[in-house]
Amino acid sequence: MQAGNTDLLRNACLIGGDWLPAQGDKVFAVHNPANNELLAQLPDCGEVETRQAITAAALAWPAWRQRTAHERGALLKRWHALILAATDDLAALITAECGKPLAEARAEVAYGASFVEWFAEEGKRAYGETIPSPQPARRLLTLRQPVGVCAVITPWNFPLAMITRKLAPALAAGCVVVAKPAEQTPLTALALAVLAERAGIPAGVINVVTGSAASAAVIGQTLCDDPRVRKLSFTGSTEVGRRLMAQCAPSIKKLSLELGGNAPFIVFDDADLDAAVEGALLAKFRNAGQTCVCANRLYVQQGIHDRFVARLAERVQAFKLGDGAAPDTAIGPLIDAAALSKVEALVADAVAAGARVLSGGQRRAEGGNFYLPTVLTGMTAAMRIAREEIFGPVAPVFRFADEAEAVALANDSEYGLAAYVYTRDLNRALRVAEALETGMVGINTGIISNEVAPFGGIKQSGIGREGSRHGLDEYLEIKYLCIDAG
């Protein structure tokens, strides 16, 4: 199916319930990264539209927060049902604008929708507490109340799930949002907003401001500067996250940041080899390696190293590279030419310093934003890949001798999002998981994310958690009531 065949496609931004088309030449184009086809022309919003969206959200807030959590939950459940019912159209849109294979796009719809269902329920459990008082005449209790207008800025690698993972808890908590989707993938976000409207979520509760890469900084600055915006939730690069955090400092906004990762994937000699290879393929090559929890450094112990890399290279060579819309594609394109150049530069740096290419190692000969799935061995800590997020289908394998070395290498990073450990020794699994400086650890699995578990990082990978019961806290403030009952 073509992305253009759906009634969910919008060439407009959404402010206060009004779909506003582009004004004059203030437009930007969205392209399919697999073939460069033009998908849509959208409003290139700036400061004025962003302020209008904040105003619309602020106006919608009082009525939305007054609703009971049950009422908000019922609307979210209707949204959830509509998202699932539109799986085919949404998956086609995701594949068209982000490039991932259709099967992965469908999985993203289910994954993204699961947050809406989860928080529809979880909103009803925004419990306060009563606190035993140190003074006889006093009664102490807490309420948990919505933060208010939230700004939400999302990346292109999960065009649907990054939106729902933020909007669902925000709405469930009684907040309203101004969302700024990535310039590469705004169409899925707009389609979600269409479905939210159909579900009966009131005008102004969700506003979507679209903009080009050049306008992102202006929209971001406007959201950060405006004191009516009480919170910013951002997923994207550490570099932009750092900048947004600084911009939020003057108005002391609440922050949730999901930033870059540099996940270590550690395979010990006693691991189940088949399971470790399978896990590595999933953790590394999903979405062509373009997820923030993708394995970035594969540390393999010397006793299993050669068997592991031989098996991995064999499987990687069998991957079918191509347009995500084709039925047998396993690996789609990278998001754009800049991403392709970055992957190329990282591999060139490693090869120049002595890395060996076991498969791939270059862009596709037929052109486009495609990089061949790659396995590198002989990696060292001095290479750029040891420190930088690859965001491409490249599996670099480092050899290590013992547990202490593996943990030290794994922790030698400014990032701390996800890590993976393969071993059959339970004590070692727990010891290593406890020693790793990351927010999440997969033990004998390469896939860890779901709506019931807390997703997030430490160090320069971010602040806060998404999903799980903790995900709701990000959109609530605690108010303490001290009552003199004497």
Cite the beta strand spans of 196-339 per DSSP E: 206-208, 229-235, 254-258, 263-267, 295-301
Binding site for ligand ADP (CB under 6 A): 153-155, 180, 182-183, 216-217, 220, 236-237, 240, 243-244
Handedness of CA 456, 338, 100, 362 (dihedral sign): negative
Report whether 187 contacts 40 (CB < 8 A). yes
Q: To the nearest whole angstrom, how small is the minimum distance from the Cβ of residue 368 to ligand ADP?
A: 19
Q: Which one, 117 or 183, has the nearer CB to ligand ADP?
A: 183
Q: To the nearest whole angstrom, how small is the minimum distance from the Cβ of residue 28 to ligand ADP?
A: 11
Of 97, 183, 258, 466, which residue is the catalytic one? 258
**Helix, strand, coil percent content, the chain, rounded in steps of 5:** 40, 25, 35
Q: To the nearest whole angstrom, how small is the minimum distance from the Cβ of residue 241 to ligand ADP?
A: 7
Rounded Cα–Cα distance for residues 227 and 238 (Å): 24
Rounded Cα–Cα distance for residues 78 and 359 (Å): 47
Rounded Cα–Cα distance for residues 167 and 358 (Å): 43
Q: Which one, 242 or 307, has the nearer CB to ligand ADP?
A: 242
Cβ neighbours for 70, distance < 8 A, ≥ 6 positions apart = 124
Rounded Cα–Cα distance for residues 369 and 367 (Å): 7
Q: Which one, 80 or 254, has the nearer CB to ligand ADP?
A: 254
Q: Which one, 138 or 243, has the nearer CB to ligand ADP?
A: 243
Q: To the nearest whole angstrom, how small is the minimum distance from the Cβ of residue 340 to ligand ADP?
A: 14
Secondary structure in 3-state letters for 286-312: HHHHCCCCCEEEEEEECCCHHHHHHHH
Q: Which one, 110 or 217, has the nearer CB to ligand ADP?
A: 217
Amino acid (1-letter code) at residue 254: K
Q: Is 467 helix (H, G, I), strand (E, B) or coil?
A: coil
Rounded Cα–Cα distance for residues 202 and 192 (Å): 14
Q: Which one, 126 or 292, has the nearer CB to ligand ADP?
A: 292
Catalytic annotation present for 414: no
Where b means 16+ CB within 10 Å and e means fewer, 68-105 reads ebeebbebbebbbebbeebeebbbbbbbbbbbbbbebb
Q: What is the DSSP string of 131-149?
A: E--SSTTEEEEEEEEE--E
Q: Which one, 123 or 241, has the nearer CB to ligand ADP?
A: 241
Q: Which one, 165 or 305, has the nearer CB to ligand ADP?
A: 165
Q: To the nearest whole angstrom, how small is the minimum distance from the Cβ of residue 378 to ligand ADP?
A: 28
Residue with tokens 């020693």: 435
Rounded Cα–Cα distance for residues 255 and 246 (Å): 11
- The residue of the chain with the least Cβ separation from ligand ADP equals 220
Pairing of strands 138-146, 476-484: antiparallel
Catalytically active residues, by annotation: 258
